[in-house]
Structure formats: structure tokens, C-alpha cells
Amino acid sequence: MKIFLDALELDQIKKYSNMGILSGVTTNPTLAKKHGMLDDIDMIKKIREVMPVGEIHVEAWGKTKDEILNNITRLKTHSNDPDLVYKIPFSPDGIEACNMAILNGDKTNMHLIFSHNQAIICDTVNSTYICPLVGRLDDIGHDALSFISELTKVIFFSNIMVSSVRHPMHVIKASKVGANVITVPLKVLEQMFEHPLTTTGIELFEKDIQSM
């Protein structure tokens, strides 16, 4: 499973990128504003300084096809970054923009996916990623991981990127049902490293080494 970090703490992006466990980062305007980025171009450049290799998923916002495509052109031109993935909210215009972006050789992430039909439409235009939000589905009483499991049986071209992850069990279950990509917040990634038996074992080994 490929892991993306859904965060903009630059020191943490650098830390986990240097470990070699990140395939990239996912971003949104809310995170950029929270962390004092001047704009999305400034955000891309600051991320690339600490993560030389890996995809940066950035919002190509727009209510119409032309607005979305113009944003893709702006992001590509002004950032001059070789590995951007353009996040496009699901809509008829979003699908049309996605189709044209793919034909132009760009990578796309169709997000805000909550149904099988939406996912199938995204797969039909060969979006690089589709992004179902498991946490939000769980919040309204859906069985989000069953949804992901079903998607793996009907999606043939797009990568399923599980997002809106709330805890490490979302990661485990997503992997078990066949999702091949996940984006996780910083807190969840930190929790994935932890286990009390590991901590106890390290403390015991250290104690025994010191007593030898």
C-alpha cells in the first residue's frame, strides 16, 4: 500500500519522506491557510524543498470545466513542479475537466467520492486516483470499508486513494479489502508506529545491555 501524508507540517513531511515511507502528500486550501502559506504556489515550493521526490496533490478548484483547467495550467506553469496531481471535486464539469487533463498527460485525483456510480464514472475517464472519504461516510452511519471493498471489484483503471482517515484501524481495514493507496493525517501516521510491546521490549533490551 502506498502511503501519503495528509498534512502540511514541513518538518514532519521531511522526517517521513527521509524514512522512505511516503509516496507524497495531499493538500487542501484549509491546511495551507492554517500553516501560513502565501498561496498554493508557495505551498508547492515549500513542500518540494523538504520532499524532493514524491507526488504533491493540490486542489485545482473551479465550478466550471474551464475554471478547473485554467487552474491546472496556472499551477503547472507557476510552480514548474514535475510531479503534481490535480485534485478535482466530483461534478459533471469536474469529470469533463478530468478527461481533458488526462488526455493532456496530467495526473488527476477525483475527490469527494461517496458512491459506486461516482467512482465508476471517474474510472471511465481514467482518473489517476479516485478519493472516497471513509471517515465522513462512517460519520453518517455507512459501512465505509465495505464500500471500499466493493470499489476494488468495480474499479479497473484508477487507483483508490482512501482518505478522511480517522484512526489506524482504517488503514488496516483498507489494506485488507484491497485499497492500494491511502492518505493519512499526521496523528494517525504517528500512531501506526506505536505498540506497547515494542516499547516494553526496547526498554528491557536497553536495561539488559546496561547491566552486562
Of the residues 15, 87, 173, 187, only one is catalytic, namely 87
C-alpha cell at 51: 520532499
Asked if 84 contacts 104 with a C-beta cutoff of 8 angstroms, the reply is no
- The β-bridge relationship of strands 181-184 and 129-132 is unpaired
Cβ contacts of 126 within 8 Å, gap of 6 or more: 102, 157, 158
Q: Can you tell me the distance from the alpha carbon of 87 to that of 75, in angstroms, rounded to the nearest whole number?
A: 12
Q: How far apart, in Å, are the Cα atoms of 66 and each of 63, 69, 101, 144?
A: 8, 5, 11, 33
- Dihedral (CA of 102, 108, 113, 115) sign: positive
Phi, psi of 161 (to 5 degrees): -100, 105
Residue 63 annotated as catalytic: no
Contact 76, 82 (CB under 8 A): no
Nearest to 99 by CA among 119, 120, 117, 125: 125
The x, y and z cell numbers of residue 47, run together, are 513542500
Residues with catalytic function: 87
